[in-house]
Structure formats: structure tokens, C-alpha cells
Structure 1
Amino acid sequence: MKIAEAILHYLKASNVEYAFGIPAGIVGPLYDSLIDVDIKPIITKNEAGAAYMAARYASTSGKLAVCVGAGAVGVSNMMNGIADASRAKAPMLILAGYINRWQMGKGAIQELDGEQMVKGVTKYAATVLDEKDVLAELDRAVRIALTPPCGPVYLSIPIDVQREEATLPLPAPASLAELQAVRPEPAALAQAAELIDRSSRGLIMVGRGGRGLTEEIKRLSEHLKWPIITTPAGKGVVPTDFPLNLGNYGFSSTNAASDYVHSDEPACVLILGTSLGEASTCNFNDVLVAGRKVIHVDRDPSVLGRVFKPDVAIHGDLREVLPYLAAHTRKSAASFRKPEPVNDPYERNHTGLSLRLFLEGLRSALPANTRYVCDIGEFTNFVLKYLDIPEGGDFEINLDYGAMGSAIAGGAGLYAADPTRPVAVIAGDGCFFMNGMDILTAKEYKMPVIYIIVNNAMLSYVERGQKFLYKRTIPDYKQERISIADMMAVAGIRTMTVERLEDLADIPAFTRELDGPVLIEVVTDGSEPAPILDRLKALVK
């Protein structure tokens, strides 16, 4: 058995389902071996799309994702996706080919040291030059990727090494349960429970780390009668309709969430599964914690105390922490009335289609269990503030890295991770023009992803920011309107265009019984003011 095939057999034993990437000569042995090993190749239109797809697959499923690509030339295309996975703490293995060992240092085609390129955005990176080391290095890299805090790892293997015979047995696959067991200290748990009991009212902040623990978080919130705010990455962990959920806080907060944080009500803040980055804290504004007791729980010890100093820091898994706190704190007899609606009334202060009203109506147009994937642009502010995620739904964004176009390929990654539920991508025209061609990847693999592209024919975020910061702008930020629906229709994608709110009524029939992706182009004129003031102020601070 060749080393290339042995690599894939080890990955298959480690429950790897897909290899995202683009074939090339120096990874030819790996792609040839896919014929003999039951790992499905997903061949994308760009290596960037492969990395974004793998990152979203890993960050939502918790499973190891694998990207395969040419040496440095493919890896340089993947860089944004690797960094995206790093900020999302997504377990991802990048398998890169490399030139023959005898060619090194002679100026061979595509000779460039990819290992040095990726060191800043990976947990581990190595170039394996000795065939006897490949399987041990592979096992080491996979274990590092899957150990919290999870993240991407990189192995570069020369083509002649891939062709060598594997003389050593396959390592035993890693036990995910053992690798990811992060047991909290009992003393810290007891201290947190005591602090909660001493606080009359409190607030629960939920981040990405709460994924998969919706019922446990709701149960604790109801037990304490403490309302919930969610970070942008935690949006969807708790349904919008939950009576104690005040909505998104940080980047484009709901009015209810912002008002409660700024009030004198909460005496204690329980922070669950978030690193408290800029997007989650209104640019590290300490109004969230000032004058309050703070309990911070996370699997990554490096984030505890990095932004705000907690009174109790718990390095542990929420799967253990949440049941403990529910069992060891007093049930509150207090009541909490959630303000309805959570946002101020709509104001017609613009021309053209209202993106706010479109997003508020989207809930009734798509199934309740839809998994939304949000891209990056001015529209993101509207999505975070106004899109409802009902019971059974989900939401995914990586605002911490903020790469435009990441969700377009990422939507296919979500579908690959769970093909039983609808997936809807919300992106802008700028995202499409940067990384839109992987919609065609979804078409070729018959992935029924719903692409909602907001087209305002301008760099609206840039224009508004320039006007705010410098009191002037340049005309080049407004661009010629091009019909994205027409472009994709030529490529064989079924499309529709939304120009009026009444067109929402046509979406349920349009998205029913899909056998591949569809595209909905939402045409706006960009005149509706977006809730972006916190971000613009951050650029000045």
C-alpha cells in the first residue's frame, strides 16, 4: 500500500467523510488513492472555496474536515479559509503536496515553502521529508486539530514520498471523547454557583461554544430567570422566540439586548462559550461587565481574562458546567418580562426595498429548521439585528475573521455536514464577485443550497464609513448594476429576483423540492441606513 493510500485509510478510520480541494500534479497520488478509499472528493472552483467549505463543515459539525491542494500555490489560495478556520476554532487538516525531494532548491515549478506561510494561522505545521515519519506526523496533526481549542493543522508531503510504500502499521485513530474532555475544576464550579445565588438578577451571554446545548441553556435561564443575549457567532443557539432571549448583542445589537446591558438590572454576567472579541463586546466596551460580578466559562483557557477580568474563570466544557449550575443554584421565584418587539419600530427613511423588512419576513418564507449562513458586508448588520431564528433553526457566521465570500462556499460545507436540513446563504454582491463561483460546486454536487444575494450595486459599507470618518467619499464606490440572477441562470442555476416585499410570497414555492442550488437576488438601492454605528466608532477609537 502506498503512503498516499495509507493516509486516506487513517483519515477514514478517523471518521473523515470528504476531501475538499482541487487536484494537481503534486497531490496526484492522494487523488488517485481516493478511488480505493471511501472518502468523497468535493472538487471546488478555487482552493479558497475548498478551505471555506471545510471550515464551515468543521465549525458546525465538530468533525475533522480535510482540504487537499497543491503545494504553496494552492495553499496561498487557501490562506483566507485557513485563517477563517483558525478564528472559528474549526478542526481542519490541510494536506498539501510538494515537489520531489530531489528537486528542492533547484527552482522547480511551484517550489515555495508553504509551511512557513501558514504557521501564523495554524496550530501545527510540518513538511514531512522522511516516508517513515508520515503516519506518525499525520496522527500527531489530527490529534492537535481535534484538541480544544480546536483549529487547523498543515502537513506538506512531497509527491515522491506519497508514492513510497507504507512500511509501518496505521496508528489507531484518536478518540474524540478523550481528546475533547475538558473537565472543570470542582472548586471553580462551586464558587460560580455561590456567586449566582448571591446575585439578585443576572444576565447570560451565549457564544459559539453553546452550539448543540440549546435545551441546557434554556433550562438554566428559566431556572434562574436570567435573560439571554447572544453574540453574533452565538446567534441561533437560542431561538428568537424563547421568552428570555433578548437577541443579538455586540455587532448590531438588538435594542432590547443593548438596553438591558446598559441598565442597572443585572448584578452578575454569566458568559458561556465566547472569547469576547470585538464583535461580541461593541469594541471591547466594558459596559457589559462594569460594576457586575463576572463568571466566564470556555474550553479555551487563553480567552479567560484576556478581555475582561472575571471573578470566576471556569476552564471546562459547557456540557458539564451547565447541568452543574442548574443543579447547584436556587430556583428563582422572580419573573422577567421580555420587551416586545426587541427592536425599535421600522421607519421609512429610505427609498427602494427595505432589507430590514425583507429579513423580518424571511422567517415565514423558509422552513423553520433552516440553517442560515451569513457572509460579510453591510447587509450583515441587518441580518444580525433583524433575522429571526425560530425553534429548530440555526445560524452560522465567522465575523471574527470577517472574510467576504466565505459563506458562499461555506453553505455547501454546512449541507455536507447535515444534508437533512435546508441551508440558506445570505451574501452580498461584493461577496459574490469575490468568491461566487462555488455556487457552481453546489450545482455539480446537487446540493440544494438557497443563495440569497443582496445586490445594491455599491460598496455601501465603505461609502458610509468614509462619509462618517472623513465627511467625503469617491464615486467609484457606486458600481454598474449587473444582474447576478441572469449570470447564474446562464450557468444553469434556477433564479428569481426580489424587488418588492410582495415577492416574499413566491419564495416558498420557489424553494420547494430542490434538486440543486437556487439563487434569489434581492435588489436594493443601498439607501436604507444600516445599524453600523458601533463599528464605525471603533475605527476612530
Structure 2
Amino acid sequence: MRAIEAGLRFLVQMGVNHIFGIPAGSINALYDAMIDIPELRSVIVKHETSAGYMAASYTRITGVPSVCVGSSGPGATNLVSAAANAWVEKLPILFITGSVPSTKLGKGGAQELAAEPIFSSITKLSKTVLDPKRLPEAIAHAYHVAISDVPGPVHLAVPINIQMQDIGNVQPPKPHELAFSQQVDDLTIRRVAQLISDSGSKGVLLLGHGAKVARSAIVRLTEYTGWYAATTPRGKGAFPENHPLSLGVYGLAGNAKAIEYLNGNEHQVLMVIGSSLGELSTCNWDPRLVKGKKLIHIDIDATELGKNYIPDIAVCGDAEIVVEQTLRHLHSSQFPESLSKLQATIHDDLLEPVQPKEEQDWNTKIAIEQIGACAPQNARFYIDIGELMTYAIQNIRITHDQHFDIDINFGAMGSGIGGAIGAKLAEPHRPVICITGDGSFFMHGSEVLTAKEYRIPLLFFVINNARLGMVYHGHMLQYKRCHDDFSQERVDLSKVVDSLGIRSVQVKSLDELQPEQMQQWLSYNEPVVIEVVVEGNEIPPMGERVKFLEGATY
């Protein structure tokens, strides 16, 4: 048995079932071994970076680690952005890159690269394997490092001759015992419950991405206490936005009500769950967020606690476990107000569901709001990077059964396209809607071919405003002038998509984007690209980002 096959069979034993990447000479022994391992599904993409984003969304949604591979040299460097994203997102992905034969290292082989140090700062482990007999164990060790303690990506560089070496009829390595425990200190939980009880109804929750695993428990906590809940942009969807206690999003492109309430003085306790409280989540670290309030900060990663704001109570643990344990220590007599009474105190605009508009105005905001209003009640939105994301954060209302994903912390333009494909692979029966822009589409739009080739049905809405919208508006807001070539000659993207043999639709008005059209596009059971043509002259809700850049610059 070849060394790489033994390593792959260990991954199958651990439940790994997807490998994303692009084949090439220095990694093809891995692909050849997969022919004899039907449990592993290969997804061959158009660009290695997209493979990394597909792996990220697949693993994030399923909880199953995935593998992402690239060749030596540029194949490996194309994976760096994706690995950095997985590092920020704390996702257990195994990146495997090929290498020139170990006997030729340092001799100037074609596309030779010392990949180990390049990946070392953005992975939990980066190692070059030079002994074929130890490759299976190296893969097993990397896998366990990825999933243990705080999860994260790992990287192995494997020369092609090491992959191909026959190491005999060996058994896959045995799984290791994991030392990580989900137990949370009960005394700390009691302190959290006591602080919540002492504050009565004068508290508020701010939910990051890490809170999404505890959606049900958090809803029960808010209804029990009467506390309002806001989310960060990355955490959008952690709390249903049609719930009467929802404030919407706080941070970049946040809702005015959420920003006003969290920066105000109507509450005594701020409970943050699953957020590192970075720039985009805190309106540039606004001091009013915590001023005069007791801060409870809950996160699975202890290094995030106290990094930006010093908490009064810091809890390291899984959000669902912490919230469930906290609920067990609360007593209903301390919260006499019922949810029905609280509903009367909430502004009507937070209670009304978004409905399709009848007026004929047409711009990016209305288009994205309409996409959200027409989407199925169980849809997953995957949002790309750019001007469009600010409108999506602010104007799509995520309900109880919907999900919202955006790689806002380290996602590159085009990450939403690959991410949406990975999301659909993770949940084949859930409708997936990708909202991307023309700039992102020009970077990674070829991945719609991957969706076509693997018969992955989902909708790609491409907002075509013929410019790099966020760059253009941000530059104009900050410098009051702009390069002419931040805009571009408008391209008919529907014709481009047609040439690829993929179904396309062009939308230029509100009448062409109604619930019946959405249902029809979803019924095709194939990838559909909907080009949404807008002028894009309105200024997106990105003022907080501009303020940060101005402060950083001057």
C-alpha cells in the first residue's frame, strides 16, 4: 500500500468524506489513491482558493473536517488565503500540498517551494513529511491537532515520492484519545446566573458567529429574561430577526436601533456570546458599548476573552453548553414580566415582516431586500464580500429556520461563490442563495462551472453595478475623489454565463424579481445565475468602516 493511501484510509475511518482541490503532478498520487477509496468524494474546482472556501463552509456547517489539496509552488500559495480564513474561523481543515521529490529538494526543481514556513503562522501545525513510513501517522497527528482544543487548520507538505512509496500492507493509525473537555466551571456559571438575576430585565445580548450553535437555547434565555438580542455582522442569524426581542445587527452596516440601544444606558449587563469583539463587530471598538455596564463574555477560545474589552465574568466554553447550564440556575420568579408584555415596548418596525415592494424604485438596497423577502423560509444565504454585503447585513431579515453566512473577517472577494457550493454540499436539501457582485464574479465566477459539473443546484445572484462598489464609495467618502478605473465598462454577465452552458436570468426591475420567479428558479434543480443590473450610485451603509480607515490613516 502506498503511504498516501494509508493516510487517506485513516481519514475515512474518522468520517472525512470530501477532498477539495485541483490535481497536478506533485499531488496526483493522492488523487490516484482516491480511485480505490470510494468513501472519499473528490470535488475538483477551478481555483485552489475557491477549494479552500468550499471546504470551510462544508466543515463549518457539518462539523466534519475536510481536506483541501494543492500542488507544489503556486498551487500551495493559492491556498494561503483560504488557510488564513480557516485560521480566523477556527475550522479543522487539513491542507495538503505536494512538493518536488525529497531527493531533489534545494536543487531548483520546477515549482519548488518551502511551503512549511509559509503556512506556519496561519495553521495550528505546518510540517513537511520526509519519511514515507511516517506519513500515515503524520496525517493522523495533523487531524487530531486540527480537531482538538480550539479547532483550526493544519498543513502538511508531502513530496511526491513520499506519497508514492509502498510501505506494505499496513493498518491505518488508530484514533487518539482527545484530552479536550466541554466541561465548564460550575462556580463561574453560577456567577453568570447571579449577575443576570441581579440585573433583572436590564440586560442585552450581543451574539457572534460562535453563538449560532446555541440558537434555541439563546431564544429561551431572552424570553426567560426579557433581554433584547443583537448580533454582530458575522453572527447574523444567531437570533431570528422576526422575533420581537431582536434588535438586528450591531457593528458594520448595523441597524440604527441596535446601535442606539447597545450604546445607550437602558441596560446594566452586556452578555457577549461567541464574538472576538473585533473592529467590524463593535463599531470600531466604540467605548460606549461597555461603558457603565457589567460585561459577561463567553467564547470557546480563551485567547479571545479580554482581548478587546475586559470582562467582569469570562467564561471559556461551548456556547450551547454555557447557556443551557446558565438557564438551569435561573429562577422564573426573578423575571416576572411576560414576553407578551414586553412585545408592546418594541418598535413596530421590528415586528413587521419584510414584504415585496410595490414601488418602482430600483437599486442595490431594494434588490437585496427583495431577494431576502422572496426567499424560502428555510433558505441559507451565503453573502460575498463587497458593497452588497453591507446591504445584505442591514436589509435581509433572517427568520428562525433561515441561516446567514459571510466570511467577513478574512473572506476574499469571491469567497461567497465557493462557500455557497460547499454549503449546498453540506445540506443538499436546503435552498442555498449566494449573493455576490460583479467584481467578485470576475475573480471566482468560474466556480459556477463546478456547480454545473457536479450538478449542485443553487442560485447565484450577481449584483452588477459595473464597478468595485465598496472600493469606489469608500474612496469617495474618505478622499472626496476617485480613480476612473474603479468603475468599468458594463459587461453582460448573463451572456457570459450562457456561453458556459449554465441557465441565466437578467433582472432589471422589481417586477422581474418576485416570489413566483424565485420559486421557478429553485424548481429547475440546477445552478442558476441571476444577473441583477443596477446603477449602484447610492452610498452603501459603510460609514463605520470609513471612520476606521480614516483613523488608521491619519
Q: Greater shift after overlay, 327-336 or 79-88?
A: 327-336
Q: Indicate the residue corresponding to 1:170 in structure 2.
A: 172
CA distance in 2, matches of 1:73, 1:467: 35
TM-superposed deviation, 1:462: 1.8
Write out aligned runs for 1:451-466 (5 A). Answer: 451-466=460-475
CA distance in 1, matches of 2:156, 2:263: 48
Establish whether residue 380 from structure 1 lines up as the match of residue 381 from structure 2: no
The one-letter amino acid of 2:163's match is Q
CA distance in 2, matches of 1:17, 1:314: 34
TM-superposed deviation, 1:426: 0.7
Q: Greater shift after overlay, 455-464 or 16-25?
A: 455-464
CA distance in 2, matches of 1:125, 1:372: 33
Establish whether residue 309 from structure 1 lines up as the match of residue 310 from structure 2: yes
2:3, 2:133 within 8 Å by CA — same for their partners in 1? no
TM-superposed deviation, 1:363: 3.2
SS in 2 for 1:464: helix
TM-superposed deviation, 1:352: 6.6
The one-letter amino acid of 1:259's match is E
CA distance in 2, matches of 1:340, 1:53: 39
The alignment's TM-score, normalised by the length of structure 1, stands at 0.95
CA distance in 2, matches of 1:393, 1:458: 30
The one-letter amino acid of 2:175's match is P
SS in 2 for 1:195: helix
Q: Indicate the residue corresponding to 1:513 in structure 2.
A: 523
SS in 2 for 1:522: strand
Q: Indicate the residue corresponding to 2:336 in structure 1.
A: 333
Establish whether residue 6 from structure 1 lines up as the match of residue 9 from structure 2: no
Q: In structure 1, which of residues 505, 515, 523 is the aligned counterpart of residue 533 of structure 2? A: 523
TM-superposed deviation, 1:180: 5.5
Residue-pair matches, total: 536
Q: Indicate the residue corresponding to 1:480 in structure 2.
A: 489
The one-letter amino acid of 1:340's match is D
The one-letter amino acid of 2:301's match is D
**Deviation sequence 1:73-108 (CA, Å, 0-9, x none):** 211111111111111111100111111111111111
Write out aligned runs for 1:416-431 (5 A). Answer: 416-431=425-440
CA distance in 2, matches of 1:417, 1:172: 27
CA distance in 1, matches of 2:180, 2:24: 34
The one-letter amino acid of 1:171's match is P
Q: Indicate the residue corresponding to 1:142 in structure 2.
A: 143
1:255, 1:342 within 8 Å by CA — same for their partners in 2? no
2:421, 2:451 within 8 Å by CA — same for their partners in 1? yes
Establish whether residue 57 from structure 1 lines up as the match of residue 58 from structure 2: yes
1:183, 1:315 within 8 Å by CA — same for their partners in 2? no
Q: In structure 2, which of residues 368, 372, 392 is the aligned counterpart of residue 363 of structure 1? A: 372
The one-letter amino acid of 2:444's match is N
Q: Indicate the residue corresponding to 2:498 in structure 1.
A: 489
1:296, 1:304 within 8 Å by CA — same for their partners in 2? yes
**Deviation sequence 1:238-259 (CA, Å, 0-9, x none):** 2211111111111111122112
The one-letter amino acid of 1:446's match is R
CA distance in 1, matches of 2:236, 2:46: 30
TM-superposed deviation, 1:179: 6.0
Q: Indicate the residue corresponding to 1:215 in structure 2.
A: 216
CA distance in 2, matches of 1:47, 1:526: 31
1:245, 1:338 within 8 Å by CA — same for their partners in 2? no
TM-superposed deviation, 1:212: 3.1
Q: In structure 1, which of residues 371, 394, 405 is the aligned counterpart of residue 414 of structure 2? A: 405
TM-superposed deviation, 1:22: 0.5
Write out aligned runs for 1:214-363 (5 A). Answer: 214-331=215-332, 332-334=335-337, 335-336=341-342, 337-342=345-350, 353-363=362-372
The one-letter amino acid of 2:123's match is T
TM-superposed deviation, 1:342: 4.2
Q: Indicate the residue corresponding to 2:120 in structure 1.
A: 119
1:59, 1:85 within 8 Å by CA — same for their partners in 2? no
**Deviation sequence 1:249-301 (CA, Å, 0-9, x none):** 11111122112112211110111111111111111112211110000111100
SS in 1 for 2:470: helix
Residues 536 and 342 of structure 1: CA distance in aligned 2, closer, same or farther (over 3 Å): farther
2:459, 2:522 within 8 Å by CA — same for their partners in 1? no
1:224, 1:330 within 8 Å by CA — same for their partners in 2? no
Q: In structure 1, which of residues 392, 395, 398 is the aligned counterpart of residue 404 of structure 2? A: 395
CA distance in 1, matches of 2:461, 2:180: 36
2:373, 2:396 within 8 Å by CA — same for their partners in 1? no
SS in 1 for 2:388: helix
Q: Indicate the residue corresponding to 1:434 in structure 2.
A: 443
1:54, 1:65 within 8 Å by CA — same for their partners in 2? yes
CA distance in 2, matches of 1:531, 1:28: 46
Residues 326 and 8 of structure 1: CA distance in aligned 2, closer, same or farther (over 3 Å): same
The one-letter amino acid of 1:30's match is L
Residues 282 and 191 of structure 1: CA distance in aligned 2, closer, same or farther (over 3 Å): same
CA distance in 2, matches of 1:414, 1:174: 29
TM-superposed deviation, 1:174: 5.1
Residues 240 and 496 of structure 1: CA distance in aligned 2, closer, same or farther (over 3 Å): same
CA distance in 2, matches of 1:495, 1:390: 28
The one-letter amino acid of 2:536's match is G
**Structure 2: where are the runs of 5+ without partners?**
none
Residues 295 and 410 of structure 1: CA distance in aligned 2, closer, same or farther (over 3 Å): same
Residues 455 and 179 of structure 1: CA distance in aligned 2, closer, same or farther (over 3 Å): farther
**Deviation sequence 1:398-438 (CA, Å, 0-9, x none):** 11113111011111111111111011111111100111111
Q: Greater shift after overlay, 100-109 or 163-172?
A: 163-172
CA distance in 1, matches of 2:244, 2:495: 43
CA distance in 2, matches of 1:526, 1:319: 41
The one-letter amino acid of 2:4's match is A
**Deviation sequence 1:193-213 (CA, Å, 0-9, x none):** 111111131001111112232
2:234, 2:408 within 8 Å by CA — same for their partners in 1? yes
2:7, 2:140 within 8 Å by CA — same for their partners in 1? no
Residues 477 and 182 of structure 1: CA distance in aligned 2, closer, same or farther (over 3 Å): same
The one-letter amino acid of 1:255's match is A
CA distance in 2, matches of 1:282, 1:512: 37
TM-superposed deviation, 1:173: 3.1
| % same residue | 35
Residues 514 and 179 of structure 1: CA distance in aligned 2, closer, same or farther (over 3 Å): farther
TM-superposed deviation, 1:382: 0.4
SS in 1 for 2:382: strand
CA RMSD, 1 decimal: 2.0
The alignment's TM-score, normalised by the length of structure 2, stands at 0.93
Residues 481 and 179 of structure 1: CA distance in aligned 2, closer, same or farther (over 3 Å): farther
Q: Indicate the residue corresponding to 2:44 in structure 1.
A: 43
TM-superposed deviation, 1:71: 1.7
CA distance in 2, matches of 1:408, 1:236: 19
